[in-house]
Amino acid sequence: MAFIRARIPRLFGYVPQPAEREKTFLCDGFVAVFKELECVPFVCTDYYGRSGLEFSQLAPDSLKVSIASRFWSLFLADSDDVEDYEFVVEQYGFSPRVTLGCRDGDVYAEED
C-alpha cells in the first residue's frame, strides 16, 4: 500500500486523503472511461495494507479484469517515480500505531 500511495500523486496529480474506513489506509475512487464513452467507477483500497480494487457487482468480470490490468500497469510503468509522504494511523487493528511512507524513493511501513 505504501508504494500505491506514493505513486498516486505522480500518476493522477492529487494527494490521497487518509481513509475513513477501519483497517484501511487508502480508499479513493476512480473512473475508467472507454472510447464508447462507457464509464466504470471503481475504488482503490486496501485491507490491512493489502491493495485491491472494488467494483460494482453489475460490472462484467471480463471488464473488471481489463480495468484492473490497465490500472496496475500504470503503477509499474515508471515505478521509481514516487512522491515522499508519511502517514500515521493510531488504531489499525493489529498494533497501536502504524506508519506508512516514502522517503527519498524508498517506501516503508513501520509498527510502533
Give residue-wise pLDDT tens across range 37-92.
789 999 999 988 889 999 999 999 999 999 999 999 999 999 999 999 998 876 65
Q: Is 72 within a domain?
A: yes
Question: Per the structure, how many domains does the chain have?
Answer: 1
Q: Is 88 within a domain?
A: no
Summarised one tens digit per residue, pLDDT across range 13-41 is: 999 988 887 778 899 999 999 887 789 99
Q: List, in order, residues 6 or more apart from 46 with CB less than 8 Å away.
A: 1, 4, 24, 25, 26, 27, 52
Q: Is 90 within a domain?
A: no
**Whole-angstrom Cα distance, residue 91 to residue 103?**
23
Considering the entire predicted model, what is its pTM? 0.85
Q: Is 107 within a domain?
A: no
Quote the domain boundaries for residue 30: 2-79
